[in-house]
Amino acid sequence: MIYDEDIDIESLEELTLQASMKFISNEDPDWLLEAVIRTQQLDFLYELRRTIYDLNIVFSEKDREDD
């Protein structure tokens, strides 16, 4: 399992789904671990994306005030 990939959110969602399906199909705990780790990565990326979006809004509003 490789965890330090340069990957986009959509690809990570697909990899998470694949790991979950592999765990369901053969109940191998390694696939459960893979799914949990990928889910945590997704949660982090979603939160990071929200934070960046919120900061961009704040900076955009601040820039307008400076004009």
pLDDT of residue 4: 53
Given a cut of 70, whether residue 64 has pLDDT beyond it is: no
User: How confident is the model over 2-55, as pLDDT tens digits?
Assistant: 455 566 788 888 888 888 888 888 888 888 888 898 899 889 988 988 888 888
pLDDT of residue 5: 54
Of 55 and 65, the structure prediction assigns the larger pLDDT to 55
pTM greater than the 0.85 cutoff: no
Q: DSSP string covering 12-61, please?
A: HHHHHHHHHHHHHHH--HHHHHHHHHHHHHHHHHHHHHHHHHHHHHHHHH
